[in-house]
Amino acid sequence: MAVGDIYRALHARSLKDREGFWLEQAAAIDWYRRPDRALDDNAPPFYRWFPGGELNTCHNALDRHVDAGHGDRLALIYDSPVTGTKRRYTYREFRDATAELAGAIAALGVGKGDRVIIYMPMIPEAAMAMLACARLGAVHSVVFGGFAAKELVSRIDDCAPKLVLAASCGIEPGRIVEYKPLLDQALELAKHKPAHCLILQRPQGPATMVDGRDLDWATFVPGKPHAACVPVQATDPLYILYTSGTTGQPKGVVRDNGGYCVALHWSMKNLYGIAPGEVWWTASDVGWVVGHSYIVYGPLIYGATSILYEGKPVGTPDAGAFWRVIAEHKAVALFTAPTAFRAIKKEDPEGKLLKQHDLSNFRTLFLAGERGDPPTIEWAQRLLGVPVIDHWWQTETGWVICGNFVGLELMPVKPGSTSVPAPGWDIQVLDAAGRPVPAGEIGAIVGKLPMPPGTFPTLWNADDRFRQAYLAEFPGYYKTGDAGFIDADGYVSVMTRVDDVINVAGHRLSTGQMEEVLASHDAVAECAVIGVADDLKGQVPLGFLVLKAGVERPHGEIVADVVRMVRERIGPVAFFKTAVVVGRLPKTRSGKILRGTMQKIADSQAYTTPATIDDPVVLGEIGEALKPAGYARK
């Protein structure tokens, strides 16, 4: 057999014999009632997986391993260089702590279908909180700690939670991020008022409590009767995870229980090549989809040991932090974003710190979250001497769209490519008219419907937005929003977004949302935000401001205002640090701002003047305005 034959046979079967393939994979998890079918395709373009099936995702992640005699196996290793703490939980300990927490939140009236916001940093209680909701059939929505209060407001008002689970603070190198004042402010502004907040007080930054609303985790939770797992439909929602759209209103990506459990279980063995009981590490955050799927649900559903790391790749304490964690806990694989490796490479280009650690158990590095640039991938390959697998993901899809399925068979690694489609994905590249383009040509990357299990069935309370945003442009296909090409071997390269989403240090952000903030400044007549290339973060946002006539304030002050406003309204994670004031913006004759051309100018790339441009002279003006800020140098 040739290399790739195993994968190709499996992938072909997943499309031709969808029922057989996925029902077979579904047998690997525990069901209270087995599904009648794999796919419910009665109401296209809405598809549901495993109709009739009843299960509980928390049972699959915790109880069933204890029931199978693996209660003493490690479920979670918490390693926190920012607090100098390490804690280990066996499956039994983690199950018991989760059941107790579920008992506590049930005592607050939370049950099946109720929403719960989780606003917590990278601590074990965050994972417990997610699983406790799953245990009760409640729907959690985790909010990343680097967002501002306003982001919390839009999520609270959209999903109307009964309860908020929060920690008093997060810890960033050099500063404590006080979560509680942000939460208080958000609850003040939100139209929906959850009845209670259960607050985990951290000694690094204890919070002031609001009488009657806030409850102290440390006194409220202990001793509560353990809650049992509640059976839910496979198609019931497990969580909502908000992600950047084209406007300030984030999209509530819905994840179901059944399809997700089955897909994650399949992926741990076949994509990541992990065996139950092995130590797996995803260096991401529970606030992102990667954290949901591969810090919490995937490894635990599979019975592996998951490392939950509260720290950074550099600075906690140095660029050897990742090697220390891998060696100390004997991790066999690491999953992180390329930006983390660029940060390590910048500080320790020769990898000297690696030599201090024994990585003999380490087998594979997985990268995702942004384009894996070939120099970083090749550097990591040379340094670690193991396969470096770039794979392509989205919040919407819940797990990989394309990857190299090392547990099935390692296919050749082509730096710059995300390898081949996951089972159930029929990936195609189309031109603007919806026609397939030849191999090697760039176009819109789409997936033929239905998408595989684990992907999002819809957006929370927004079926129409789901249809409009993802399914309308190419009928019969899911529009990924990414552009790229498929080569003659069927390998998919993802090059760029086609919308105004940018990727800053592996964090997905909306330039449209930043523009809304800039436009609200009283001196700003017009604005644009683009993503410009950055050696460390991949992309960073850059603003352009056209001021109202008669504004006499110094430009530096106005720029400082908008930088502060983005930090306050979206959050530090937006990493909006610079804007330039320009006389006018380049536009087409119909008034569309030429953001793509502006980006090329800023990045000193060759560009062609669009035929539809209103006045080509503006492009030269933009270039001149950018030079003092260090852009458009060539």
Q: Which residues bind ligand COA (CB under 6 A)?
A: 145-146, 170, 172, 177, 284-285, 288, 290, 312-314, 336-337, 339-340, 343, 368-369, 505-507, 537, 572-573, 575
Cross-strand partners of 403: 420
The two most distant CA atoms of the chain are separated, in Å, by 75
Report what 306 binds from ligand COA, ligand AMP, none; CB cut-off 5-8 Å by kind: none
CB 21 within 8 A of CB 12: no
Report what 394 binds from ligand COA, ligand AMP, none; CB cut-off 5-8 Å by kind: ligand AMP
CB of 418 to ligand AMP, least distance (A): 5
Q: Which of 237, 250, 311, 372 binds ligand AMP (CB under 6 A)?
A: 372
Q: Which of 220, 294, 392, 456 binds ligand AMP (CB under 6 A)?
A: 392
DSSP state, 412? P
Q: How big is the CA angle at 139 (ends 212 and 14), to the nearest 5 degrees? A: 170
CB 260 within 8 A of CB 238: yes
Per-residue contact track with ligand AMP, 504 to 533, x per CB under 6 A? ----x-------------------------
CB 474 within 8 A of CB 430: yes
User: Helix %, strand %, coil % for the chain, to 5?
Assistant: 35, 25, 40
CB of 156 to ligand AMP, least distance (A): 21
Indicate the length of the chain as a whole number: 634
Residues 6+ apart with CB under 8 A from 530: 502, 511, 541, 542, 544, 595, 598, 599, 602
Report which of 210, 212, 239, 224 is spatially closest to residue 117, judged by C-alpha positions: 239
Which residues inside 452-491 make contact with ligand AMP, applying CB under 6 A? Answer: 481-482
CA distance 365 to 382: 12
Report what 390 binds from ligand COA, ligand AMP, none; CB cut-off 5-8 Å by kind: ligand AMP
Q: Pick between residue 447 and residue 453 the one whose CB is nearest to ligand AMP.
A: 447
CB 421 within 8 A of CB 446: no
Q: How big is the CA angle at 416 (ends 346 and 501), to the nearest 5 degrees? A: 80
| Cis geometry, peptide bond prior to residue 45 (ω within 30 degrees of 0) | yes
Report what 284 binds from ligand AMP, ligand COA, none; CB cut-off 5-8 Å by kind: ligand COA
Q: In this chain, which stretch among 267-275, 302-310, 368-376, 545-553 interacts with ligand AMP, using CB under 6 A?
A: 368-376
CA distance 527 to 210: 40
Q: Which of 168, 257, 270, 503 binds ligand AMP (CB under 6 A)?
A: 503
CB 613 within 8 A of CB 586: yes
Q: Pick between residue 298 and residue 586 the one whose CB is nearest to ligand AMP.
A: 298
Q: Pick between residue 184 and residue 285 the one whose CB is nearest to ligand AMP.
A: 285
Report what 145 binds from ligand AMP, ligand COA, none; CB cut-off 5-8 Å by kind: ligand COA
CB of 535 to ligand COA, least distance (A): 11
CB 92 within 8 A of CB 72: yes
368 binds ligand AMP (CB under 6 A): yes
Q: Which of 11, 251, 342, 497 binds ligand AMP (CB under 6 A)?
A: 497
Per-residue contact track with ligand AMP, 403 to 422, x per CB under 6 A? ---------------x----
CA distance 204 to 560: 30
| Residues that bind ligand AMP in the complex, under the rule CB under 6 A | 243, 289, 368-372, 390-395, 418, 481-482, 494, 497, 503, 508
